[in-house]
């Protein structure tokens, strides 16, 4: 269900419409570090809003995404404090 809100956009408060997220697919990005650690990160969208009356040069509406960044580490035993 869409609802109206106000969002700080380019330094001014703008009217926006919160758009429901019906489904998502969030994959992990993995980084192998030189010390053998594997870092996994992903961004999880928690809310999406479309800025009312604002459009990109290609005509697409502008969106603002609130997201949480999540990280996990698979660390070699030799680096852990016991």
The domain tally of the chain equals 1
Task: Tell me phi and psi for residue 14, to 5 degrees.
Answer: -125, 150
Q: What pLDDT does residue 82 have?
A: 83
Rounded Cα distance between 51 and 53, Å, is: 6
Partners of 50 in beta bridges: 17, 63
pLDDT interval class at 1 (50, 70, 90): confident
Q: What is the pTM of this model?
A: 0.75
Q: Which domain holds residue 8?
A: 3-79
pLDDT tens, 21-80? Answer: 999 999 999 999 999 999 999 999 999 999 999 999 999 999 999 999 999 999 999 999
- Token match 């290609």: residue? 58
């Amino acid at each position: 269900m869409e609802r109206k809100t106000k969002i700080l956009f380019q330094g001014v408060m703008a009217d926006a419409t919160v758009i429901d997220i019906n489904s998502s697919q969030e994959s992990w990005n993995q980084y192998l570090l030189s010390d053998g650690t594997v870092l996994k990160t992903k961004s999880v969208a928690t809310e999406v809003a479309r800025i009312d009356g604002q459009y990109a040069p290609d005509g697409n509406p502008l969106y603002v995404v609130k997201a949480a960044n999540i990280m996990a580490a698979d660390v070699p035993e030799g680096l852990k404090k016991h």
